[in-house]
Structures are given as structure tokens and as C-alpha cells.
Amino acid sequence: MLSDVTSPHDLDDRFRADLAALGAPDQRRDLGEPLPDGGLLTGAQVLALFDAQLTSRLLDLAGRWLRGFGEGYYTIGSAGHEGNVAVAAALRPTDPALLHYRSGAFYCLRAAQAAGEFPPDAPPPAPTSRNQPPETRDTDGSWKDRAPMGAVSHQDLAPGAPEGGGDEPADGGGVEAAPLPSGAGVVVDADGDATVGVPGLPSPSLDDAFAAAARDVLRGMVASAEEPIAGGRHKVFGRADLAVVPTTSTVASHLPRAVGLGLALERLRRGGQRVDGDPEVASWPPDAVVVCSFGDASVNHATATAALNTAGWYDHTGLRIPVLFVCEDNGLGISVRSPDGWVAATLRSRPGIRYFAADGTDVVESHRVAAEATAWVRRHRRPAVLHLSTVRLMGHAGADAETAYRSPAEIAADVARDPLLVTARRLAAGGYVSGAELLARYDERGWQLRRIAEEVLDEPKLTTPVDVVAELAPRRPVRVSRAVADAAAHAAGPGAGARAEAFGGKPPELTGPLTLAQSINAALADGMLDHPQMAVFGEDVAAKGGVYGVTKGLRDRFGVARVFDTLLDETSILGLGLGAGLAGMLPVPEIQYLAYLHNAEDQLRGEAATMRFFSRGAFRNPMVVRVAGLAYQEGFGGHFHNDNSVAVLRDVPGLVIAVPARPDDAASMLRTCLAAARVDGAVSVFLEPIALYHARDLYAEGDGEWLAEYAEPGAWADRHVPIGRARVYGVGSAEDLTIITFGNGVRMSLRGAATLADEGVGTRVVDLRWLAPLPVADIIREASATGRVLVVDETRRSGGVGEGVLAALVDTGYVGAARRVAALDSFVPLGPAAHQVLVSEEAITQGARTLLAR
């Protein structure tokens, strides 16, 4: 029947029957000996790989079992992909691993490696005297003088062999005794009878690393709050002490991060820089290899293409990235087939990336090739891809009826290539075990996992909103404020000399009033001086100094290792930042235009913002993403250079969005974002209004009132701008109207307020400064002060910031009058037509008059 090869129950039955059919070896081999085919593994190591594989398989069965009565929430399993255990065996347990969702066997073996339970390589054979039979090891690892499992009686000895184990044949002749089986021991009982045997299989421990790994995974399946990495928020493979970085991606969105981590590790290693001393920052060995795994269908995903291209691009330029991509190819993306040969052709064609391939169902071959690939990457510090052919058993997930798109013959062919059975056959053919012993091992582990599954069902779940969001984006404003003060003290004290040198003897506070662009440039330089691990990078930021000159001169001051140009790909730029943050650096990537961010948003939403959430703070990726954006650029149009859409950013939980309007705020806010990244691991988007970069005047040409002095270090603490605090300007009496705005709207609203003041209207203009989190307390206070609120929103009417402001007013019980002026739901056209869709000063003053007339 078709169901015989698709249901978990029957897959289990088939595997059990196949194990039983293996029989017993004619001549038993000691587990400490290498495989007879010359592989790199010993019998004990292959048995450990089998233990990891069967643990993973039983976890898949447990997931279906739990789901069957409504207690499990995740059934995407690893069945058929258990060959990735060989990749884990080829790596060190300190190599950072970013794993896809079919990595159960890898995770289980990594746990055994970290616990020191993965057997070492076979030692060279030691000489033994024929008069002193080798001892045998008990199942608990102690030495015992007893006949082990598999012993044979003295009648089984070769003719002429001495029953007492002496040096000469009993009849005094020259007949040679047959050699003892490999690893055999001879034991003589009280009656003088001799028995020969080798140590039996050690029984799985009830509290070994495989059991611990299984408990981790089962806790994730049932959403237990005790799960060690995500705490019930998601089922992920991750644990800090295993160097397994959690990723919730079902495709390849974690690959750009892996490339970034590899590049950052190599930069830190070559520069002699290490990130030590901070308990909240993961520390990686200097010669680590980054491994990331993904499926064959993901080869076609934009993020995989970006990651592979970026790794090859940097390799072509001479920069080194020690990353091993592992593509596990089962030929299917749920129901969509990968065309024959497509994956291999795609991976082979990647310039700058070494290609390795192996049968992923055979752990011996997979380990040999994985060891070769890993050694190559570790030695050359260059990227490689390991292409493993695998199978997929039990479908994509519990709800997947694969019989709708696969033939019975095709499914049966996959079952015949079951990697667990391949490993079992390797062990049996090598003479290490019998099928009955492996079956007993499988059953024993199965009952163990059944007990663990029943135990985790009773563990607590997340039951309050506070529990759920506790690790989303922790805010420690006092520590952030202290970090800013410490930076100021260092800049004015021990770092004063280096600061003077960096600024050519003339620090920015002595150069006179600065524009917004100049203030950001100076604050970036001060940040680089204060944070040795800070790096500024992006398209055109180094040699050119940015298309608007905001990063001008930074490369000359701090060198190409800390200020560098990237390739033209926003996904990769953010991925480099994600990896650099994970490596302990403080990345400040630039996205050249706001519109360019939209094709890479998931690197912020699905990767950056989720790291703390799904690791309970065990991992973090601090980052300040500088984005030039918003509208009002004269002569520019289209949705690429004059974009006013920020709705997608405001929807990302935990993401900080800063929008400085004035030069003095820009420097203070940037210092806050950098401090929050270091203290809390915060991810911030620093959205810089392009139209205000070089603005100098406010009310009249030449007045210079949009310039501002740069604060000297001694004033940084006093001028600190906490996240989520607005700035209020009073115009006239400031008693009649409250205008709430941000970005370009601040300058226009102040000009409009001046016009209204001539009409006798006193206005307070509130610059939100932070779009996430919104400064709700300041909004309510300033709105209640006048009872009339005009929201000036340069983003679009639908999905714009104004909606959030008005919602905050309603939610907190504001009862005064309110009105909104916002841009139209339109892309920004070229030239003067832009004024037809964007907010204008005239629209602001007219909106205010209408509101006041009520």
C-alpha cells in the first residue's frame, strides 16, 4: 500500500524490520578500530553518528505523536536528512552553525561533541604480550576481567590452541594458533576454560548529551517556557554553549548573516582584534569556520543568491570569508521539484566558491568529503559549498500529503536510501554490531524519548504578554545614558589626544555651526574613536564619502578595515551587518536611499529584530543602519530617490527608528543609538532626511538658523536624547495649537508657526524624533496643553506615521480636537509635480486655521 511508505508508523516498522534482518557479524571487530574501508571514522564514532541519527528520527516520530493529540506544534522534521550528522562530526563544536530546520542529527551530535561524548580518533595500536590477554571494557567505561558480550567458548578456538593461553601448542608441535578476532580478549575461568570476545556495545545513558539535545527539541515542539534558547517562542535549533545560532528561516534568509559573520571573524583575526570581556557578546575562536545549511529549493531564493554572490565577490577581491555553505538536496521544495542537475550546476558555477559533493545518505562518504571541505575552508579562509544529496521521508511536514505529487515508486526509492539504514549497514558490515543490538538500541532510545516527551508536556508555557516580549528589545535607558557619559569622559580625557589627531587638530565643536550632514559625519567619527569595533560600510561610503558626503574623510582617518565600500546589494549589506554584530563588532551599514531598503527588509524583520527574541538574549546583533531618505529633494522623483514610505519599518517589533531633523539632535541621537547597540544589542534605523542634509536657513535665506553648534564632549551627557523622547519648540505664546511632526515636517511646521504667530496664534511644534517607539507621553502632554492637535505627516495618508500618532491620542483618552495633514497615497513624481502630492507649508497653515476655527 502507498501508506506503507508514507506514514510515520509504517516507516518505523520498516526500519525495525530492516535492522532485524541485518543479522550478526561473523567476526566481531572492536569499536575502537577504524572502518575496514579506510574511512576516517572508527566504529565507535560511526556508532555515535548512528545514535545522533536515530535520536533525530525518533524526535520526528515524537513530533507527529504529540501533534496527533494536540500537544505538539511543529512537525517539520529531519527524516532523510540525518546525514548532516557527518558535517557536524567534521566541524569543531566551537564553529558557529546557522542551521536550517532539518538539522536534528547535526544538533544532537554537536551536543555530544560539546559534552565530550563524541569518541576520539582511534589511537595507534599498542603492543601486547601473548601471556597477558587484553582487558575488556565494561559498558560504563571501567575495565573488567570478565567475558564480554559476544564471547565464544573454548571449543570455538582453532585446533591446537592452548586452552590455558600458554605460549606453546598443547602437543608441543609447531601448529600456529589462529589469530584472535580484532580487539578480542581471552578470559580463563576457574575450571581452566577460555573464552574469547570483544567489548559489547555500551548502552545509551539516560542522561547523555543525546538525551539532553532531545529534551531541548521536544521542549521546542510543545512550546515549553523551559526550552533553552527561544523559551517557548518558537521551535528552533539553537544553544549558545553549542555555538548554534538560532534561525527561524525556512528558506535562506540566514545565509547573508553567515557571510557577514565569516567576514567579520576574519577581519578581527587579521587585525589582531578580539572581542572579550563582555558576557553578553559571543566569542568565537580566531580560526573558526562558519557553517550554514539550507535546502535545494532555497538555492533559487534571492537571499541565497545574494549570500553566494557576496562570498564569491569578496573572494574575488582578495578578502577572505571562512564560510561553509551546506546545501542538503532532497530534490523537492515542498511539492515543487528541483530540475535534475540544476542545483549542482548552480552551485558549481559560483565564482570564488569551492564546490564539494557527496552522497548525504552515507555518513562515511559525507564525513570524508565534509572533513575535506572543512579543512580547506579552515586552512585557506575561503568559502566553499558542500552539496549533499539526501532524501525526504514522511513528507514536508505532518500536514503534507506527498502522495498527491509523488509516485509510490519514487517514495519507496527514498525509503530504500534511508540514511539510518545506510549507517546501520555500515556498522554491521564492518563487524561492529548485530542488527539485533542496533534494534535494541533504537527501542531503548525510543522509550527514553517517549518518557522525555511526557515530561515536557507538564512544563509551563508562556502565559502573559510580559513573558512573551521580555526579550524582544530590552531597554535600559539608565545604562545607555551612562554609556554616553562614559564616552564623553573618555573623549575629554584619555582619548583627547587621539580625538584631536583624528580631527586634524580642529575638533568639530571649534569649527562653527554645522549642517545636518556635517554633524552626522562628526558624530560618526566620534563613535569610531569611542568604539574600536565600530565599522562603517555600504555602497560608495569609503572612497567617495557617500553620495551626499556624509561619510567624507572617515576612510582616511580610520582605514579601509573600518570604513569600506560594499557591492551593490542591500540584502548583503545588511547581512554583513548582522554577521558583524554577531561577531561582537558594532556595525553601522548605510543604505543609500530609503527605497533601496525595501528589497531587503526581511533582513531587518526576520533576522535582525528576531535574534534576541528567539535566543532569550543569548545572541544579539547590535546594529545602527543609516538610511538616507524621505522626500522633498528638488529635481528628484520616482520611488527610488524620493521615497516617503516608512510603514514597513514601524511594523517591526523592537526596531528603533530615529529621524533627526536638526544637526544638534542628529549627533545626540546617533550617540544614543550607538550606546543602545552596545548596551542592549539594539537594532536601530537612523533615517536621515536627505532634503535637510545641507540646509542652512530656516525662515529666510542667509539666516543660518538651521545650522547648529556641535557639542563638546563635556556637554554630551547634558544633551543626551533618550530613545522615545520628543523635542518641543515654542512659537509665540505656544498656547493655542500643538503641531506634531518629524523630519522635513519640523522645518516646514516651524515656518508655518511663524506665519501663524503673525496672526496672533501661539504654537508648540513637537518634533517626534523617534518613530518607534513613539514618544507617547510627550505627545499626550503637549496635545493636552492646547487641546488642538495638528499632525503633520510627510509620509502617506495610508500607513503613515500620523495614523500612529492619532491612535496614541485616542488610546490614551485625548478629548481635544485633532486634524491631520499628510502626503497623498502616491509615489513622488519628478519635478514640480511632487508638490501636488507632498505636504506643503501652505497646507500646514491652512490646516491649522481650519482646526482653530472649530
Catalytic residue positions? 641
Residue 514: phi and psi, rounded to 5, are -115, 155
Element (H, E) at 765: strand 763-767
CA 854 to CA 737: how far, in whole Å? 12
Query: Phi first, then psi: what are they for 763, rounded to 5°?
Result: -130, 140
Report the chain's terminal Cα–Cα distance, integer Å.
78
CA dihedral 687, 690, 691, 694 (to 10 degrees): 110
Strand order in the sheet with 817-823: 727-731, 763-767, 737-741, 788-796, 817-823
734 closest CA partner among 750, 719, 718: 750
Pinpoint the alpha helices (H) of 91-204.
104-114
DSSP letter for each residue of 709-751: PPPPGGGTTTT---TT--EEEEETT--SEEEEE-THHHHHHHH
Gap between the Cα atoms of 52 and 302, Å rounded = 33
731 phi and psi, to 5 degrees?
-125, 120
Distance from C-alpha of 239 to C-alpha of 35, rounded to nearest angstrom: 32
The position carrying cell 503613515 is 800
Residue 788 CA to residue 771 CA, distance in Å, equals 21
The answer to whether 29 and 198 have CB atoms below 8 angstroms apart is yes
Q: Select from 825, 706, 828, 51 the least CA-distant residue to 433.
A: 51
CA separation for the pair 612, 622 (Å, rounded): 10
Contact predicate 283/584, CB 8 Å: yes
φ/ψ of 244, rounded to 5, equals -105, 110
Q: What one-character DSSP code corresponds to residue 644?
A: -
264: helix, coil or strand?
Answer: helix
753-757-762 Cα angle (round to 5): 80
